[in-house]
Structure formats: C-alpha cells, structure tokens
Structure 1
Amino acid sequence: MTETPTKALSEQGVSIWLDDLSRDRLQSGTLAALIDSKDVVGVTTNPTIFAGALAKGTTYGAQLAELAAAGTDVDEAIFTITTDDVRDACDVFAPVFERTNGVDGRVSIEVSPTLARDTQATIDEAKRLWATVDRPNALIKIPATAEGLPAITEVIASGISVNVTLIFSLDRYREVINAYLTGLELARERGNALANIHSVASFFVSRVDVEVDKRLDALDTPRAAELRSKAALANARLAYQVFEEAFGSERATLLVAEGANRQRPLWASTGVKDPALPDTLYVTELVAPETVNTMPEKTLDALADHGVVTGNTIEGTAHDANQLLDDLAELGIDYDDVVGVLETEGVDKFIVSWEELRDTVRTGLDEARATA
C-alpha cells in the first residue's frame, strides 16, 4: 500500500491533532473516523471553535432545554456543554492514549480567556475543568501571558496536564518551559507522579506572518517583498532550537530520569491565511521529532490530498532563521513589538469569541424557556 502523507508525517515523529470539535462530529462518528483515515491522534479546542459549534449545530438543543429547565445561567451552561464534549472526545481517543502510553490521544479544553490576566482565577478554573472532565487524557489550556506563567507552574505541580497556548515569542517560550520544569519540581515535592503529567507548548505560526507581512507591505520596497511570508517559519524553527536546548539541560535531564515527560512543541495556527502560499506550508515545513501539529480540517484535508513530506525540515535551519530575523530588524521590523501585539490580539480575539459563545448559549436558553 502506498504511504499516505499523513502516515509519512506521523512516521517523522509529528503527532497530528485536529483543531476542531463539535457534538455533531462526536455523534456522527466522523471524529473517530479521522483516527483511521488521517492518522489523527488528538484534538484541540478554543473559544472560537466552541462558538462556531454552538452557532451552527442543532445537536445541542436537547441539552440546552435541560439546562434551561434547571435554571442554569449562561456561564455554567457553557461550562457543562463544553466539558461534556471534551469528556466524550477523550473517550473516543482513549485507545490512542493507551497505545501511546499517554503521549497522544489528548483533548484540550481552555480556561475562559476572560481570566487570562488573573493568575488565581486561572488556577481555580483549570482545576475545576480537570476535575469535571475527569479523564486522564485531557489537557487544560492556559495562555502564556505573564499572569499565566505562575498558573502553569501551580497547575502542573498539582498533577494536571497542561497545554500552554498563545505563545508567540522565543523569550516567552523559554519562560513557559521554566514554568513547566518548576511545576514538575514542585509536583515531585508534593508526591505527584511525574510520569502522569504531560504538557505541550502551543507556538502560534501563521499569525506571525500576517503581522510581519502587513508591516513589510507598508514599506513597499523590493527587499521587503523578498522577506514576505518567511518570519513565521523562522520563528517556529528557532522555537524548536529552544526546545532542544532546554530539554537537553541538566535540570530537565534529571527530571526526565525521574520519570518526567518532555514538554513537546505544538505548532498551532497552521492554517494558511494568505491564499498565495502553499496550503500545507506550516505543516510540511515544520517537520521534526517530538512535535505536534494541530490543524483545522481544511489544512488536514490538504495534507492528506497533496502534502509532500520530505523528512525533517527543521534540522539545520537555525542559522538561516536567525539571519531572517536580523534582516527584518534591519528593515525596522521590531520583533518584540510584533510578538507583543500578537499576544494581546490573541487574548482579545478569544474574548470576542467567548462573548459570541455566551450570546449563542443565552439565546438558546431563552428560546428553550420560551417554548417550555
């Protein structure tokens, strides 16, 4: 049998996760089918995904009616609906979880983005989400804001597996790794089994090109045009170098020797935003062992249809990636400003999606009460 692109990618050490979830996917069996047909071994969710699922789906009607009858408020209804979906998805991926010894078969659920600047509230909600989903293959998503870093440490220390999200900068990524390792050290002190704690660090890709290319286009020079759509790959490839260096350190090596797991880089925002670019660009050009690529279905379908996996496309790229960032700096593209803007925008966009989700659920509850 001819090897498929998704199988080829998996064999390079890249875990394919789907960046989408809905009750319709769960009930129709299409989510389960992707495990066999396209080598999908995990799922990520976010407020935008749930807002879309609730707005378009009709499969939530019965539960909305039950929640309305019980007098449930909007936020508690969202909590119940989303944790139910994630729990069911965890059950779908349980065999993958077992087969991979807990590395894959993971399903992520995010703390409310409205808490992104509140450390204690993030900790409290992360613990509540973990307890409510009540599945060992769940991952609790915590944004990599300055306030999120100590929350990551405490949640990891409590024995909870975490997906750190909204990472754009290399310096912030280093801080995320430190937060994870500190959490493991505290977990060990508290007697929590290190082997049971897993984590991924979601490094966002395409949005970097969107922001940098906007600034390059404003310069309107031949040199600026030459550098378009190269920043995202350079940034992600340098992030992989940070991963290798950090987890090759004595500190990390000692923890791994005691049973801890390395926190894998996860490439997020891998759907191409510029139609002029190859639609599998942020997949086939970010191939390296111990990574995860979470893809919207459109990107997954493109990979399965015509993706060309040529092997490791990150190894040996650090020098050129650093040079690319230097070239951008020479043109006045301020890296720190770019990643700072993207982090702020990332949180803000998820808050907008969260409010859309609240509006959708509020309408559903009101309609259910009106027809009861």
Structure 2
Amino acid sequence: MTDRLKALADAGVSIWLDDLSRERIETGNLADLVATSSVTGVTTNPTIFQGAISNGERYDAQVAELVAADKDVDEVIFALTTTDVRNACDILAPVAAATKDDGRVSIEVEPTLANDTEATIASAKALWAAVDRPNALIKIPATLEGLPAITEAIGSGISVNVTLIFSTERYLQVMDAYLAGLEQAKAAGLDLSTIRSVASFFVSRVDTEIDARLEKIGSDEALALRGKAAVANARIAYAAYESVFSSDRWQALASVGANKQRPLWASTGVKNPAYPDTLYVTDLVVADTVNTMPEKTLEAFADHGEVTGDEVTGKGEEAREVFGALEAVGIDLDDVFRVLEVEGVDKFKASWIELVETVQGQMGSAQEKAES
C-alpha cells in the first residue's frame, strides 16, 4: 500500500476508482488495487464500459450467448454491464462489510433517460434488481427530472449515486430529494440503515469552462482567476452539505438509523497540463468524503501527491470571495452551470451511442462466427 494513498485514506477520504472492466475483474487487478492502493469503491459510466468492451475479448463468450438467445442490443448492454458490476460488488463486499459506507460500485441509468423521470425510475429499479447486491449504487443524474427519481429510488430502498452536480443550488435540491426519499422509506417501514447515497459534485469541468471564459475576457484580473473556480465551487458546496446534515430534519432521520449522503468529488482528473495533476485531490481533502479518480490520477497521487490537512472545512467564505471576483470580471455563473449540465448530459448520451455501436459490432461478429 503506497504511503501517499494511505495518508489520503487516513485523512478520511475514500478513494474510489473511476474505471471498471472485465479484465480488471478477471486478472485480479481490481482486487490488487483494493489490497495495495487503498481503493475502496468503483464508479462506472457509459464511456468506461465502451472502452472496456471495445478493447478486449473477455466479453465475447457472453455476447455470443446473448446473441444466440436472440437478445437485442439494449438487453446485451444491460447484461454485460450488470455482470461486471455484480462481480465488482463481490470483490468489494469485504470492504463493505468492514466499513460503514465504502465497498460500493456504481452503475448508471441509461443517459438518454436523463430528462424522463418515470423512465429513470424504471431503469434504476431494473438495474438494482439485476445487480442484486446491497453494495451497489445506482447513478441518477441531477437534472430537474432526475430529482423526483432520486426521491423515489431512495424511498424504495435503492442506494443512489447522484451524478452530474455542478452548482450548489442544484446540490441543495439533491440533498432535499435524498432526505425526502428517506422520509418516504421511513414511512414505508424500511430499514434506513441499509440505504446509502453519495452526491457526485463535478470538479475539473468547472475550471475548464470558466477558464475559457476568463481567457476570452483577457484582462489581468480575469486571467489571475484561472484554476480557482472549481475548488472554490466544491468548498461552497461542502459548506451547504454541513448545513443540511446538521439540520433538525436530518437529525430526525439520523435518530432512526439513516446514513448521510456523502459528498463525492468527481471529474478529478486535471484537464489543464499547466495545473498540478493532483490538484483536485490535495485541495479537496476533508474527512467523510469520496474522491473518485481515473487510474492516471490515482497513480499520480501515489507517486507525488501530498496531504496537507483539511483543505475544505471553514473555507466557504474564502471560496465565496473567489465567486464574487469571478462575477466582478463578467463571469455569469448561472449560465456556466446551465451549460455544464446540458453538456454533461449530452456527453453521456454520446458515450451511450458509442457504447451501443460498439456492442452492435460485437454482436455482428458473434453472429458471423455462429453462422460460419
């Protein structure tokens, strides 16, 4: 176990790998990361599955079986991805048993449903039933249409990873949806202690979008603010989290066994090579949070990352000053967050289309082999 990753874990940050493949599962790579690199969870998305399925032969046998059973492409994708997540859940089951909140593996509802509440609910329930593991998390996007789906899923006893959160305003709505779901679950007589949730607050994309706008403005004041927005945004969000999860409403749920919805820092791979490649890890260290990292970021932190203490608690006011400065030079933050949410949904939809095309190709190959 690397000392730097252990130091991060000891600071209370749960390290989740933002990647999964059948190769990682079958070669023992995922188990090794759990054993040696302080990895305690996994997140997935359509892009990750598209890459995994297109780059290996380990899916071929299952694809052939599904094609022989006359399954369509959506059914094949569902079977391939839920199989991987189920097996990853089994690898991480000892972590889930030994910890309160970790050992979780996330799988996302179909992104094309992001603006359809009822279809999102149906997809979440189908994925939860198919994976059939208590340490799974179903990813639901934090669109306006996704909010009632979050409440319904939680209220049904489904553990949820809320994804694509960019603004504190939307984050407050997400936390409200979570608490409403817990209240529904309580009214239905469910055991609240079995329900888990994280709220995935996206980081690097905020800097990418705002930095581009600052460079377009071009003034010295604007350029001096590059690389500061994303961390400030996350710190403001964390202050909102502290407020909500110290409220009377929350205490009433905690008293009957409810778990907090932990903040999860997502999109923590640094996209600007001018910034330190561990920026969104070191500057967001705070206990009882999750940082989900692509392997490149995980390896960078293991090599040269630094834990300098709690970099979030009590820094909300300083972060709000950064936002004030951004607005003063002409950044429309509301527009930034609108654009990021729309682009985020569109990117996931595009990844889904690529995943469908990849699997269709695999199915065609399987059909040709069967006929030859």
TM-score relative to the length of structure 2: 0.98
Amino acid at match of 2:264: L
1:99-178 map, 5 Å: 99-101=98-100, 103-178=101-176
Q: Partner of 1:59 in structure 2? A: 58
CA RMSD of aligned residues (A): 0.9
Q: Is residue 69 from structure 1 mapped to residue 53 from structure 2 by the alignment? A: no
Structure 1 residues 192 and 231, CA gap change in structure 2 (3 angstroms): same
Q: Partner of 1:316 in structure 2? A: 314
Q: Partner of 1:298 in structure 2? A: 296
Amino acid at match of 2:328: E
Count the aligned residue pairs. 370
Look up the SS of the partner of 1:274 in the other structure: coil
Q: Partner of 1:41 in structure 2? A: 40
Amino acid at match of 2:94: P
Moved more, 314-323 or 146-155: 314-323
Structure 1 residues 366 and 3, CA gap change in structure 2 (3 angstroms): closer
| Mapped partners of 1:3, 1:157: distance in 2 | 39
- Mapped contact 2:2–2:302 kept (Cα < 8 A): no
- In the TM superposition, structure 1's runs of 4+ consecutive aligned residues that sit over 2 Å from their partners are none
Identify unmatched segments of 5+ residues in structure 1: none
- Cα drift, residue 316 of structure 1: 2.4
TM-score relative to the length of structure 1: 0.98
Q: Is residue 31 from structure 1 mapped to residue 61 from structure 2 by the alignment? A: no
Q: Is residue 336 from structure 1 mapped to residue 334 from structure 2 by the alignment? A: yes
Look up the SS of the partner of 2:291 in the other structure: strand
- Mapped contact 2:2–2:37 kept (Cα < 8 A): no
Q: Partner of 1:5 in structure 2? A: 4
- Mapped contact 2:2–2:36 kept (Cα < 8 A): no
- Cα drift, residue 254 of structure 1: 1.2
Residue 261 of structure 1: which of 252, 259, 262 is its match? Answer: 259
- Cα drift, residue 3 of structure 1: 7.1
Amino acid at match of 2:201: F
Amino acid at match of 1:210: T
Moved more, 347-356 or 57-66: 57-66
- Cα drift, residue 362 of structure 1: 0.3
Q: Which string of whole-angstrom CA distances, capped at 9 and with x for unpartnered residues, describes residues 244-273 of structure 1?
A: 000000000111111000000000000000
Look up the SS of the partner of 1:265 in the other structure: strand
Q: Partner of 1:347 in structure 2? A: 345
Amino acid at match of 1:291: T
Q: Which string of whole-angstrom CA distances, capped at 9 and with x for unpartnered residues, describes residues 293-339 of structure 1?
A: 00000000001111010110112211110000010101110111001
| Mapped partners of 1:22, 1:33: distance in 2 | 14
Residue 184 of structure 2: which of 183, 186, 202 is its match? Answer: 186
Q: Partner of 1:96 in structure 2? A: 95
- Mapped contact 2:46–2:355 kept (Cα < 8 A): yes
Look up the SS of the partner of 2:290 in the other structure: strand
Amino acid at match of 1:64: V
- Cα drift, residue 63 of structure 1: 1.0
Identity within the alignment, % = 62
Q: Which string of whole-angstrom CA distances, capped at 9 and with x for unpartnered residues, describes residues 208-228 of structure 1?
A: 000000000101111111000
Q: Is residue 85 from structure 1 mapped to residue 84 from structure 2 by the alignment? A: yes
| Mapped partners of 1:327, 1:311: distance in 2 | 26
Q: Which string of whole-angstrom CA distances, capped at 9 and with x for unpartnered residues, describes residues 174-202 of structure 1?
A: 00000000000000000111000010000
Q: Which string of whole-angstrom CA distances, capped at 9 and with x for unpartnered residues, describes residues 105-142 of structure 1?
A: 00000000000000000001100100000000000000
Amino acid at match of 1:125: S
